[in-house]
Amino acid sequence: MVGCMTCHKLNDAACTNCSRCGRTLISRTHNALQRTYALTLVASILYIPANVLPITYTVYLGSSGPSTIFGGVVTLWQMGSIGIALVIVIASVFVPVAKLGIMFYLCEMVRQGNVRNPHQAARLYRLTEFIGRWSMIDVFVVAILVALVKLGNIISFYPGPAALSFAGVVIVTMIAAEQFDPRLLWDISKE
């Protein structure tokens, strides 16, 4: 059986088009492992400038100052906004690193043909899909700050180059998770 990616109807594997919506049926994604590896590597490379470059520029009473993700977390912590600092560090540091690590781990298990527990591996894959939804929170915080805090010459926020890199990390990891074919975990475990 082959599931339609559009309407989710199960069709006979011999069919080339969905019997309900007429879309072309695709049973397997070609080169899914290589695509996932490549996209995860690109996301890892983008993660470096996302943490090294300034994510925002703050203009306060005429003086300008850049702020990296870690710098913003430290500033929030020192100001007493511990809850917001924890949300930012979790969403900006732990979630992307965990997602990249899990994707590399799953790809490496499939590449080596060493999937001992496919149920656990499938849970890890579903975890990457779940946390992918929360990865954009840092980009949203910057966007909200830029949109809301424009008080003329008193204080203003402007996005920095790291905001674009971080958005790239999030988008590319979401695409990488989408490209990964979790059926590969089960195929290897049957061998």
Domain boundaries, the chain: 1-29, 31-190
Would you state the pLDDT for residue 181?
84
Would you state the pLDDT for residue 43?
95
The CATH number of domain 31-190 is 1.10.150: no
State how far Cα 55 lies from the chain centre. Answer: 17
Q: What is the mean pLDDT of residues 4-11?
A: 85
**59: pLDDT confidence band, cut at 50, 70 and 90?**
confident
Burial class (CB in 10 A: 0-12, 13-18, 19+), 180: buried
Q: pTM of the prediction? A: 0.77
**27: pLDDT confidence band, cut at 50, 70 and 90?**
confident
Residues in the chain: 191
13-22, 48-57, 106-115, 142-151: which has the minimum mean pLDDT? Answer: 142-151
Q: What is the mean pLDDT of residues 57-86?
A: 81
**4: pLDDT confidence band, cut at 50, 70 and 90?**
confident
**113: pLDDT confidence band, cut at 50, 70 and 90?**
confident
CA 101 vs CA 63, 107, 123, 139: distances in Å: 39, 10, 14, 21
Per-chain mean pLDDT for the chain: 83
pLDDT over threshold 80, residue 172: yes
- Specify whether the CB–CB gap between 45 and 32 falls below 8 A: no
Would you state the pLDDT for residue 178?
86
- Specify whether the CB–CB gap between 100 and 173 falls below 8 A: yes
């074919």: which residue's tokens? 181
Q: Please tell me the distance from the alpha carbon of residue 160 to that of residue 144, in angstroms, as a whole number.
A: 14
